[in-house]
Structures are given as structure tokens and as C-alpha cells.
Amino acid sequence: MSVSNSDINAHDTVRVELDSRSYDIHIGHGLLHEVGPKVLEFAPGGRAIIVTDDHVNTAHGDRLRVVLEANGVSHETVCVTPGEPSKGWPVFHDVVEAILASHAERGDLVIAFGGGVIGDLAGFAASVVRRGMGFIQVPTSLLAQVDSSVGGKTGINSPHGKNLIGAFHQPTHVTIDLDVLKTLPPREFRAGYAEMVKYGLIDDEGFFAWLEANHGEVFSHGNALGRAVANSCRSKARVVAADERESGARALLNLGHTFGHALEGSVAYDGERLVHGEGVAIGMALAHRFSNRLNRCSADDCKRVEHHLQAVGLPTRIQDIPGEHPSVPALMEFIQQDKKVKRGSLTFILTRGIGSAYIQNDVSPWEVATFLETELSS
């Protein structure tokens, strides 16, 4: 088990090793105060553009602005409508133009202050404005803290599918203040928890077992929360350092995501019906059951995964999504559109059991479709 059992101190640091693009992730309570000094460290001119959404701005925006002002940092705020639909061309256009209108210079910093939608959107904007501005990630959702703020994948969605337009653009720093999670709606907290479970399922059965034992303390914002966030960042940093541009092992981080993205697409990214982490939870359960069908994973491990996800209130079946169920052809359309498809054959992250995920090329679309038929009729 790789989770540190010592109490998390004032803060914990995880280093993402990427040569000249290496950076630190600071994790702890009350860390918003470090954002001012960090801007001065990376943008000596002391100018920052905060990109955020209405929820985060209302809950925490003023505290961040006070911190910047206390450090003599001048700032502007670009605020977008919360939710996945903001991760598309129209809002991207507005954010880029707003950054330019603020007279941002190349040496100024963008601060991505929000969940994964803001991190992906603001990071992609930073990657193209003036051919690349630096940016700091200050993730405020659990999902963004344990996953999307680390690793430098930025981008937006297309009507053709999720995350099809984007760039690799690493942040210069990541500040994770655990205190901001207090205002996160419980449903969003659960969705982020699904991504933490993912790290256990990929290659760390000990972490999965630790989560089975400690999820109560994670959900009650006890010390286990900081440990679980730090451990998740450590897992992600390790994978990203080994394969920054996803030519190999980084694809393991997509466990549950090919199915999950198809489910999100099939409900037209309607966050009322399904948020990303819920799609991933169902996707991970499906990946285990599909692996079981292909005789790779035991039925016991499938059950153990389902039980844990259900224990924290996450969905595990397509039928758990409220409203009309997506059809198999509709799901297959999204699966084939997924960027993990190469020349007609599908690449899936399958598993030999908890903590033993692997990359399987040449999965037949027919096999997947038949599996989904069975799932939807069970």
C-alpha cells in the first residue's frame, strides 16, 4: 500500500518530473494564500487573469482576489457559466478574447480557478494566447484536484465528441487547497471520488483496500481526505512523468473512460443526468464486467468494485442513469469516435483484477456491442 499513514502536515508536495517542464503540486489546508507569492515567482510583472465559473467565483473568488492584492498582484477575472457546455468553441472564443482584452502579456499568468471544466478550458486558452502563456492550476473540485489539474492535458469538446480539440500544456504550479472542497456539492464530491478509486483499480490494490476501509473519513473531510488526494496526485504524477504524451502507459488512466465518455455523449453532456465522474464509475464497473466476459477478471473482483462504488453512492449500471436509456448503436457511435480508436479496431483498458489494468488493442467492436446488449437487457 502506498498511502502514507502519517498525518498530513500543513502541506504535502508532489513533484511532477518533466525535465524543464517539471512542477510541484502543493496539497493542504488553507493553501489559497500561497497563490499570490506563486504568481510573483512565475510572473515577476505581477499580473494574473483568473478564469473561473460563477459557483467558484461566488464561493471563493473574493478570498483569492484579496490574496493577490495583498501581494501586489494586479488581476482581472473572466467568469463563465458553470458546467460541461462551457467546454466548447463559443465559450473558448469568449475566454481567449477576454484574456486578450485584458492586455495580457506573454509573461503574465492565467489562473485556472475551478473544476475540471475550468482547468481544461483555461489551460487550453493559455496554450494558444500569444503562442503560450504560463498558467497555475488552483483546482476546486475533488475531480480536478486528483486528476484533471495534473498532467497538462487541456482542451474542449466538439459536437463530434469529448476532448477532441486540445493541446498538451503543463501548468507551472498546482495549488490544492483542501478547504475549498467544503462548498462542493456532495454529488460532485462523489464524482471526484470515482477518479481516486480509479488509481487503486489501475495498479494499486492496496490503495483500493485502503479506500474501502477509510472512505467514511474521506467523505467527512478528515485526515484521510488529504492522504487520499496526495496519493492520487502521486499516482497520476508517476504515470505522466513516464509517458507525458500518452504513447503508452498513460492510456491506463483512461480506465472506465471509453465507456464513460460514450455515456456522457449519449446524454448530450447533460450534467443533470450524468456528471463525468459518474460516467467513469459506470465505465469502470463495465470495464471489469467486460473483462470478466473475456475471461480476464474474476466475478469476485467485479462484485468488490461494484460494492465499493455503490457504498459511496456511485452508479455502476447504464440503467442507473435517469431517463431513457441510450441505445447500443448510439453508444457504439461514440465509442468508435473516441480518440482511442485506431483504424477501426478498438483499444480498451481491460483488467486482470483489482490493481491489474492493462491496455488491450484489437478489441472487436462486435464483442463490445454484444456485451452492451447483454448489459442493457439484464
Ligand X SMILES: NC(=O)c1ccc[n+]([C@@H]2O[C@H](COP(=O)([O-])OP(=O)(O)OC[C@H]3O[C@@H](n4cnc5c(N)ncnc54)[C@H](O)[C@@H]3O)[C@@H](O)[C@H]2O)c1
The set of catalytic residues is 131, 153, 195, 236, 246, 250, 254, 257, 261, 276
Q: Which of 188, 203, 246, 375 binds ligand X (CB under 6 A)?
A: 188
Three-state SS letters, 125-165: HHHHHHHCCEEEEEECCHHHHHHHCCCCEEEEEECCEEEEE
Contacts of 34 (CB under 8 A, 6+ apart): 26, 175
Q: Which residue is listed with cell 475531480? A: 143
57 is an interface residue for ligand X by CB under 6 A: no
For the chain, the distance separating the N- and C-terminal CA atoms, rounded to the nearest angstrom, is 36
* Chain residues 262-321 in contact with ligand X, contact rule CB under 6 A: 275-277
Segment near ligand X (CB under 6 A), from 143-151, 203-211, 215-223, 311-319?
A: 143-151
Q: Say which DSSP state 152 is in.
A: -
Degrees (nearest 5) of the Cα angle 314, 316, 322? Answer: 80
Q: Which of 209, 196, 206, 285 is nearest to 235 (CA)?
A: 196
The answer to whether 28 touches 7, Cβ cutoff 8 Å, is no
Size of the site for ligand X (CB under 6 A): 33
Segment near ligand X (CB under 6 A), from 16-24, 137-145, 217-225, 343-351?
A: 137-145
Q: Which of 16, 143, 146, 201 binds ligand X (CB under 6 A)?
A: 143
User: Bridge-partner residues for 294, per DSSP?
Assistant: none
CB 52 to ligand X: min, Å: 9
User: Bridge-partner residues for 114, per DSSP?
Assistant: 139
140 is an interface residue for ligand X by CB under 6 A: yes
The answer to whether 143 touches 195, Cβ cutoff 8 Å, is yes
CB 187 to ligand X: min, Å: 9
Segment near ligand X (CB under 6 A), from 1-9, 37-45, 104-112, 179-187?
A: 179-187
**Which CB sits closer to ligand X, 180 or 251?**
180
Phi then psi for residue 167, to 5 deg, are -150, 155
75 is an interface residue for ligand X by CB under 6 A: no
Q: Which of 120, 278, 301, 306 binds ligand X (CB under 6 A)?
A: 120
Segment near ligand X (CB under 6 A), from 49-57, 99-107, 238-246, 366-374?
A: 49-57
Q: Which of 34, 108, 147, 204 binds ligand X (CB under 6 A)?
A: 147
Is residue 311 classed as helix, strand or coil in its secondary structure? helix
Q: Which of 13, 74, 183, 370 binds ligand X (CB under 6 A)?
A: 183
Segment near ligand X (CB under 6 A), from 32-40, 177-185, 225-233, 298-306?
A: 177-185
Rounded Cα distance between 189 and 183, Å, is 10
Site string (80-119) toward ligand X, x via CB under 6 A:
--xxx--x--------------------------xxxxx-
Alpha helices in the chain, H assignment, sequence order: 35-42, 54-56, 62-70, 89-101, 116-128, 142-143, 186-203, 205-219, 223-242, 257-266, 276-293, 299-311, 328-337, 365-377
The residue ranges that bind ligand X (CB under 6 A) are 53, 55-56, 59, 82-84, 87, 114-118, 120, 140-141, 143-144, 147-148, 151, 153, 162-163, 180-181, 183-184, 188, 191, 275-277
